[in-house]
Structure 1
Amino acid sequence: MDAQEEEIDNSLKKKTAKGLFFGGFSNVLQQFIGFLFGIILNRYFISEEDQGKIAVILIFPLIASAFQESGFVVGLINKKNVGNKDYNAVFWCSLMISTVLYILLFIAAPYIAHFYNNPDLVSLYRFHFLSLWFGSFSIAHNAYLFKNLMVIERSKIMLAALILSNIIGLIFAYQGFAYWSLAIQTVVYTFISSSLFFYYSKFRPSINIDFSPLKDIYKFSSKILVTNIFVHINNNIYSAVLGRFYSEKIIGNLNQASKWNNMGQSVITNMINNVIQPVLNQIQDDQDRHIRVFRKILNFTAFVAFILLFGLATVADDFIRITLTEKWIKTATYLRILCIGGAFATINNVFSNLILTKGKSNIYMFNVISFGLFQFLILIFCKNWGIEPSMLIISGLNILWMFLWTAIIRNYITYSFRNLLNDVVSYVFIAGIACFAAYFVSKEIDNVYVRFGTCVLTSGILYIILNKIFKPEILTEIINFAQGALVKK
């Protein structure tokens, strides 16, 4: 490697390290802030029924947002030469699509409310759908920041929008607006984040509209569009499907469990997604390095994901009692199951990002659609068994999908099932042993706070010790990455 290549290599390492470090710190902070506001809202102002009223409609603006974005963000990231003309075409196309979609959802609101037996909530739904329209203003600007690895700026935007929207939502909840406060919080978050994306991005839209750049982008992004629709369906399928068959109270508990599980997943997936595609795309031509970087990211994801989500599953009962009080205790049962499947979902997220860097959006699309159809069929055919058996089967599906992804990517990089055992499955066993031991150490403790703290602390210490014994290289990598992120140029 000559001096110039080494300089480029070190620069990329620093960017990756900074992206992971600051992206990870930001995500932890975001989840912590959301966690605190969520506790206050749900302990004192929001009931299970209130959560259920909002949960059943979340899927509609999310599906619409997939049409609105049309895979443009991923398309722009994977396009080598991107100019102002490309961003401008995406901006105006997104705005036009979202305007049409909002009008359609506005008209459809009474029918959606009738389907879920909530005819009095038409105005609520129409207001909530405004978040879709506000979000369209940020798509091109978000792609600009993402393309240029501007992780710190994106982190500032998310944090500011999160804090301000939660404060406003809390004020409305305190004033007695109940489930309306949840809708207000969502709309305010989208408005603020869109405004800040515009502020931090150097791109400025012009009225000189030319949609011709979309032809090249859409060859790749059209498949991402279909995929993103199913991603949103997959992430919200429990409330959307089961909301027709179960009470608002049950759906509220289920949505609450899904929210906490998603918080845990988001700490990991958002941190990884901030860097993985831009970084892997930059080293696409160097296959050995490409595989090496991919495996490091996969190891890091597994190291964090399994102890975090298995740990949350282990302390689910005490976690819900401490944060939301006994009235939400049913949430703990659902949370425990979701966390097991969620840990493997973070691994599948890394595989899917890799396949996108290979330009195989059709494979990504096929996998996500297939997974969504399987989930839907499981929920429909197993609904008479109850919610929990269906959730267990779907968690098992996440595990099975990890092996399916491995079989697929073997066609594009040198990666074997033995590599999977070392990179992922080893952490499953280490995290499982640590959490299992911590549970037995703490289970006889009567005080819920002491029991919770003992379990968390014990599992963490045991996990580090076991990794130090069996996989010491991961700890060294994390220390090196942290040092790389903190060292100034």
Structure 2
Amino acid sequence: MSLKQQALSGAVWSYSQQFGTQLINFAVTIVLARALLPEEFGLIGMIAIFMGIGLTLFDGGMTSSLIRSDKLDDTDYSTVFIFNLLVSLGVYIIIFVFAPFIADFYRQPVLTDVTRIYTLSFVFAAFGSVQNTILTKTMNFKRQALLTIPALLISCLIALIFAYKGFGVWSLVAMTLSNTFVLSIILWFASSWKPSFSFSKEKFRKHFNYGYKLTLSSILDIIFTNIYQIVIGRFFNASVVGFYTRANQLMMMPVGNVSTALNKVAFPLFAEIQNDEERLRNAYKRMMLMVLFVINPIVVLMLVLAEPLTTFLFTDKWLPMVPIFKIICLSGLLYPLHLYNLLILQVKGRSDLYLQLEIFKKILLSVILFISFYYGLHGLLWGQLIFSIFALFINTYFAGNMIGYSTKRQLLDMIPLFLLAGLMGVIVYILDNYWLNNLADSLRLIMNSFCGVLVYLGLSYLFKLDSLLEIKNIIQKK
């Protein structure tokens, strides 16, 4: 199988896994959002940072090093496995000890027990991290999908039972905990690789020297990604954190899934052609534009139809999240651009520059956060968008220089897609507010979305966008 065929097959199965798992997850979350209170989701949002840091410390740079490295043997995998396991246990012990202080910070006593149980997830995940990395490195996304979905179905069933029995926030804890536990068991027994428990200092230094910079960068990113939930949780209340968390998760449903699914294919694919600048540049450009072509209209439709979407999915008790959701959607449009530009730095082995840029951007974010805090919740959200725009120019400048694809050229290629999605949004807004606003929420969503997609595809065909033609060719070949 050629590299192109392997990448296409990997993309299909990666999308199947990503969308399959997220559709199941999303459907269950809708049920849980109707059964639970916003503040119960807010409690999980308050401690998301600790879960993120725990996962990153053992599953960040070291596994990335495995994916991009050639000529690996069992000692490489076993060394990383042992490191992952020891770090996950160490981090968990620290979080267990400091859980009461976390609860005191948020003035939420229940968080002591919730934190201690919830963060067990990354200890369970450590047992299957290398097995999962091997599947990603070999682009065996079909097997990865077939192993992931059963674990998710079991965890969703457990969460629904907990919610039905009235366990509140523990339903969300049970869902995450059971998912990581069951998935690790499945990966352990389904994988042909088993750790030999041989640890090589030489192998460790090799992967650590590459990976620790990415890990530190990821930790910085997680801290400052969750800084808004920390600030909101400390100075507002759990309900507002719940609205913010739910709004962010709803936005990330299309944005994160499309980007992450393709990212799993892009990293090993780009790694294969990292020394061929022209091929890497063309592959990056085509992938980025296709992702934007798919994501932009979805996010714009969600922004314009935020009110009926919220009430239809979560009921009226979640309506306060609508203005929050609209601002977050604007930031979401830029998410894939950050992801793929930073991916170039990883592929090129510039984890040092990656870390330096993350430190600089976090200093910038701190300044913007400090200023925007004085303008309340909406000031914080607009500040988040302003930071995302600044960060985009920084990422595109450095990554673009590595592959001969400057910020100016990237923007010129992207602007038509943003303008097209914006025009579609204006048309849908007029349609919804002047003709369809008296209909039931479900009909408003269906009719506006249908008209929006027709307008978007029609204009794309009229202007002969390359991304539409490329997607059309892919479908015809399949």
Asked whether the two chains share a fold, i.e. TM above 0.5, the reply is yes
Tell me which residue corresponds to 1:470: 463
User: 1: CA distance between counterparts of 2:60 and 2:279?
Assistant: 31
One of 142, 149, 153 as aligned partner of 1:152: 142
One of 18, 25, 40 as aligned partner of 1:50: 40
Tell me which residue corresponds to 1:353: 343
User: 2: CA distance between counterparts of 1:423 and 1:196?
Assistant: 43
Question: Does the Cα contact within 8 Å between 1:23 and 1:152 map onto a contact in 2?
Answer: yes
User: 2: CA distance between counterparts of 1:57 and 1:284?
Assistant: 37
SS state at 2:309 partner: helix
Deviations 1:367-390 (A, max 9, x none): 333333433443343223111122
One of 228, 232, 245 as aligned partner of 2:222: 232
Question: Does the Cα contact within 8 Å between 2:67 and 2:137 map onto a contact in 1?
Answer: yes
Residues 45-444 of structure 1: pairs in structure 2 closer than 5 A: 45-444=35-434
Amino acid in the other structure paired with 1:175: K
Displacement of 1:117 in angstroms is 0.5
Does 1:482 pair with 2:442? no
SS state at 1:386 partner: helix
Aligned CA RMSD, in angstroms, stands at: 1.8
Question: Does the Cα contact within 8 Å between 2:79 and 2:197 map onto a contact in 1?
Answer: no
User: 2: CA distance between counterparts of 1:362 and 1:150?
Assistant: 30
Amino acid in the other structure paired with 2:200: D
Greater shift in the superposed pair: 354-363 or 204-213:
204-213
Tell me which residue corresponds to 1:5: none
Does 1:33 pair with 2:24? yes
Question: Does the Cα contact within 8 Å between 1:153 and 1:200 map onto a contact in 2?
Answer: no
SS state at 2:234 partner: coil
Displacement of 1:157 in angstroms is 3.0
One of 15, 27, 30 as aligned partner of 1:24: 15
Greater shift in the superposed pair: 86-95 or 275-284:
275-284
SS state at 1:119 partner: coil
Question: Does the Cα contact within 8 Å between 1:27 and 1:266 map onto a contact in 2?
Answer: no
Question: Does the Cα contact within 8 Å between 1:55 and 1:239 map onto a contact in 2?
Answer: yes
Amino acid in the other structure paired with 1:97: V
Amino acid in the other structure paired with 2:283: V
Does 1:455 pair with 2:445? no
What TM-score do the two structures reach when normalised by structure 2? 0.95
Amino acid in the other structure paired with 2:25: G
User: 2: CA distance between counterparts of 1:100 and 1:418?
Assistant: 45
Question: Does the Cα contact within 8 Å between 1:62 and 1:232 map onto a contact in 2?
Answer: yes
User: 2: CA distance between counterparts of 1:143 and 1:409?
Assistant: 25
Question: Does the Cα contact within 8 Å between 2:92 and 2:119 map onto a contact in 1?
Answer: yes
Displacement of 1:119 in angstroms is 2.2
User: 2: CA distance between counterparts of 1:416 and 1:483?
Assistant: 32
Tell me which residue corresponds to 1:3: none
Residue ranges of structure 1 left out of the alignment (5+ in a row)? 1-9
Question: Does the Cα contact within 8 Å between 2:147 and 2:187 map onto a contact in 1?
Answer: yes
User: 2: CA distance between counterparts of 1:113 and 1:19?
Assistant: 43
Report % sequence identity.
26
Query: CA distance change for structure 1 residues 255 and 468 in 2, over 3 Å: closer, same or farther?
Result: same
Amino acid in the other structure paired with 2:261: M
Question: Does the Cα contact within 8 Å between 1:68 and 1:95 map onto a contact in 2?
Answer: yes
Displacement of 1:320 in angstroms is 0.3
User: 2: CA distance between counterparts of 1:90 and 1:289?
Assistant: 31
Off by >4 Å, runs of 4+ in structure 1: none
Displacement of 1:70 in angstroms is 4.7
Residue ranges of structure 2 left out of the alignment (5+ in a row)? none
Amino acid in the other structure paired with 1:23: S
SS state at 2:193 partner: coil
User: 1: CA distance between counterparts of 2:185 and 2:475?
Assistant: 31
Amino acid in the other structure paired with 2:245: N
Displacement of 1:47 in angstroms is 0.1
Number of residue pairs matched? 475
Tell me which residue corresponds to 1:11: 2
Amino acid in the other structure paired with 2:93: I
Displacement of 1:483 in angstroms is 4.7
Displacement of 1:186 in angstroms is 0.9
Question: Does the Cα contact within 8 Å between 2:331 and 2:384 map onto a contact in 1?
Answer: yes
Greater shift in the superposed pair: 80-89 or 473-482:
473-482
What TM-score do the two structures reach when normalised by structure 1? 0.93
Question: Does the Cα contact within 8 Å between 1:59 and 1:232 map onto a contact in 2?
Answer: yes
Deviations 1:191-233 (A, max 9, x none): 1222223234322111333343111111110101101112322
Displacement of 1:301 in angstroms is 1.5
User: 1: CA distance between counterparts of 2:239 and 2:411?
Assistant: 41
Question: Does the Cα contact within 8 Å between 1:298 and 1:423 map onto a contact in 2?
Answer: no
User: 2: CA distance between counterparts of 1:368 and 1:313?
Assistant: 29
User: 1: CA distance between counterparts of 2:467 and 2:197?
Assistant: 51
User: 2: CA distance between counterparts of 1:121 and 1:267?
Assistant: 29
Displacement of 1:476 in angstroms is 2.1
Deviations 1:432-465 (A, max 9, x none): 1111111111223201222222221111111111
User: 2: CA distance between counterparts of 1:278 and 1:470?
Assistant: 33
